[in-house]
Amino acid sequence: DGGITQSPKYLFRKEGQNVTLSCEQNLNHDAMYWYRQDPGQGLRLIYYSQIVNDFQKGDIAEGYSVSREKKESFPLTVTSAQKNPTAFYLCASSTWMERLSGTEAFFGQGTRLTVV
Amino acid sequence: AQTVTQSQPEMSVQEAETVTLSCTYDTSESDYYLFWYKQPPSRQMILVIRQEAYKQQNATENRFSVNFQKAAKSFSLKISDSQLGDAAMYFCAYRDNAGNMLTFGGGTRLMVKP
């Protein structure tokens, strides 16, 4: 079955450590996204990538980094520079916008990151 | 930058009744897509309905329909015959054609009373 997989589901990090969240998709989608969701809040865009080896900052990119070396993978690193990293992180993917088949984004199950 | 606003943090509806969730957005683009997503307690994001900006006809998916007013930049979701399983967070989202960014509103928590 095609889909988008995030791992791990739960992640604990000590203060001052970097941590990487995995996101893999086998939907052959070009675009991939990372969102942060705080309790009772909406989704805020961290980074997005439209094509391999290219990505753009979203609204809250500070303290995060990404790479897009393969079409299927878009890992997110939460660095020690992120002052308040405890949150729920969602990865999504979608095809390019096309007039006849413009499509929604498909989401992973999310990763809950807790700083201890 | 595009913004999406959901002015109702919480809404409540009686089972079998109809409820409308509001969404407004700001954009200078003429070609874009709008979506409503549902997020139940499992936190899995589920697409409810989508609307292409170039289509005047409002989208409908079973009990869910939208009222798309392009000039007013308004995109409301109507849920008819509400069911207990409709209780969730609902997010309005905008996607442009130029950069493929997907922007979300702050969400509306819908409670369904039996």
In chain A the beta strands, taken as DSSP E runs, fall at: 4-7, 10-13, 19-25, 31-37, 43-51, 54-57, 64-66, 76-78, 87-94, 106-107, 111-115
Q: Do A48 and B107 touch (CB under 8 A)?
A: no
- pLDDT bucket at A42, cuts 50 / 70 / 90: confident
Q: Which residues from B are below 8 Å from A when comparing CB atoms?
A: 1, 6, 31, 33, 35, 37, 43-45, 47, 50, 52, 54, 91, 93, 95-97, 99-107, 109
What does the mean pLDDT of chain A come to?
Answer: 89
Tens-digit pLDDT profile for residues A77-109? 999 888 899 999 999 998 765 544 456 788 999
Distances (CA, A) of A49 to A26, A31, A43, A91, B85: 16, 5, 17, 11, 34
Q: Do B50 and A41 touch (CB under 8 A)?
A: no
Residue whose entry in the numeric block shows the structure tokens 């201890």 = A116
Q: What's the average model confidence in pLDDT over A60-65? A: 96
Tens-digit pLDDT profile for residues A23-35? 999 998 888 999 9
User: In this structure, are residues A64 and A46 in contact, taking their beta carbons and an 8 Å threshold?
Assistant: yes
Q: Do A48 and B100 touch (CB under 8 A)?
A: yes
User: In this structure, are residues B43 and A89 in contact, taking their beta carbons and an 8 Å threshold?
Assistant: no
Rounded distance between C-alpha atoms, residue B92 and residue A42, angstroms: 10
B54 neighbourhood in chain A, CB within 8 Å: 99
| Greatest Cα pair distance in chain B | 44
Q: Do A48 and B95 touch (CB under 8 A)?
A: no
Q: What's the average model confidence in pLDDT over B3-29? A: 95
For residue B110, what is the enclosing H or E element?
strand B108-113
Distance from CA of A38 to the nearest CA of B (A): 11
User: In this structure, are residues B101 and A61 in contact, taking their beta carbons and an 8 Å threshold?
Assistant: no
Q: For residue A38, give the chain B residue with the closest CA.
A: B106
- pLDDT bucket at B1, cuts 50 / 70 / 90: low
A44 neighbourhood in chain B, CB within 8 Å: 104
Q: Name the residue facing A42 among B54, B95, B107 (closest C-beta).
A: B107
Distance from CA of B42 to the nearest CA of A (A): 9
CB proximity A31 to B under 8 Å = yes
User: In this structure, are residues B102 and B12 in contact, taking their beta carbons and an 8 Å threshold?
Assistant: no
Is the bond into A39 cis (omega within 30 degrees of 0)?
A: no
